[in-house]
Amino acid sequence: MEDEMACPVCEREHIPTDQETCPQCGADLTCFRVLDELEETAATGGGNGAVTEPAENRLISEKRTASSFFWGILVASAVFIFAVGVYRFWTIEALVKEQQTIFRHKVEMVASRLDAAHEKQERFASLIEKHLETEGKRSVEKPPLQTDGDHPLPVDGHRETPPASQPQPESFDDTVDVATELSNPIAMGHAFHVYQATDTDTLWGIARRFYGAGYYYPVVLYHNPELSIYRMSQKDRIKLLKDADQARQIYKEIIVFEDNRRYWLYTARPGDTPVSIKMRYCPGKSCLPLSLDAEPRVRIRPGRKIKIQLAEGLQ
């Protein structure tokens, strides 16, 4: 009978088609009837002769579409990541090249400075070598300085003594510059007089006249540091010790001997430079340490002790 059906679950037959559940197992028969109708519709082409795609094929097609979409997104993401990586790599490469250029420029600048310093050092070494050669020639040409006890003798080897009855010139003044005396610790407690120089005077002659020997002229310079060793005139007023023995004692304190040469321990004054010192005490000669000759314009710290090589025989 067409109005009856069998239960797909328990296979009971002769169940009326209008019954919704199976009387034996209680299964819902409505859904099975709907499925049967769908199969019949698909088999007949929906009543118009067209063949309808089965549900399984539609599901597979949908899965393929979803898979294609997923792979498309994946490929697009990979391409994007690759493009970003290439851009970052290009940016980093440009930055590295820029840093390399800066570093190379700095290295070249340091190398040029080192070359300049090396060239300056070579010039300085050449100057020192020439200076040593000049000093060596001078030491060979100049006879060694003789001494008599604690006092050096002139070149002829005889000790000079002042005349027994040398009258004091009228230009002497017993007044003492107190400020100058206090600024000179060795001179404190000593008696001075002031001598008015003449155009024909020399330091050697003044020292020989009043201190007993010409080589005591550094004592005159010590108390009168503003004097120029080769330029004396009637405008110069020279402060001299009244006691010649005091001059000899001061001479021992301010003079040192090295390699048969005399050096005066000069105390730098404000404003002194190597050039100004050489202009006063040794114009046209090299009488200062090499460290000062290398920087002739530098200002010397006041109070600094400087060894000045003394000239012999300033008659």
Q: 206-228, pLDDT tens digit by residue?
A: 999 999 988 899 999 899 988 88
Residues 6+ apart with CB under 8 A from 260: 139, 144, 145
How many CA atoms are closer than 13 Å to the CA of 137, on its beta-carbon side? 5
Alpha carbon separation from 206 to 24, 161, 179, 197, 245 (Å, rounded): 157, 12, 24, 9, 15
pLDDT tens digit sequence for 36-85: 777 776 666 554 444 455 667 777 887 788 888 888 898 999 999 999 88
**Statement: residue 16 has pLDDT above 50:** yes
pLDDT digits (tens, 9 = 90+) for 164-217: 434 444 333 333 343 343 345 444 557 889 999 998 898 899 999 999 988 899
Q: What is the pLDDT of residue 38?
A: 77
For the chain, percent of residues with pLDDT exceeding 70: 73
Residues 251-287: pLDDT tens digits? 999 998 888 888 888 888 898 888 888 888 887 777 8
Q: What is the mean pLDDT of residues 121-139?
A: 68
| Whether pLDDT at 140 is above 70 | no
Q: pLDDT grade, residue 148 (50/70/90)?
A: very low
Query: Is the pLDDT reported for residue 163 higher than 80?
Result: no
Confidence of residue 147 (pLDDT cuts 50, 70, 90): very low
Q: Which two tokens mark 43?
A: 């088999």
Interatomic CA distance for residues 28 and 209, integer angstroms: 153
Could you tell me the CA-to-CA distances from 96 to 91, 99, 101 in Å, in that order? 9, 5, 9
pLDDT band for position 249 (cuts 50, 70, 90): very high
Reading the block at residue 294, the tokens are: 């290398």
pLDDT of residue 79: 92
For residue 256, list its beta bridge partners.
Answer: 263
Q: Which two tokens stand for residue 192?
A: 């001075």
Mean pLDDT in residue range 19-44? 77
Q: What is the mean pLDDT of the chain?
A: 75
The reply to whether the predicted model has a pTM over 0.75 is no
Mean pLDDT within 226-237: 85
What's the token pair of residue 59? 């599901």
> For position 168, what pLDDT does the model report?
43
Residue 186 near residue 254 (C-beta atoms within 8 A): yes
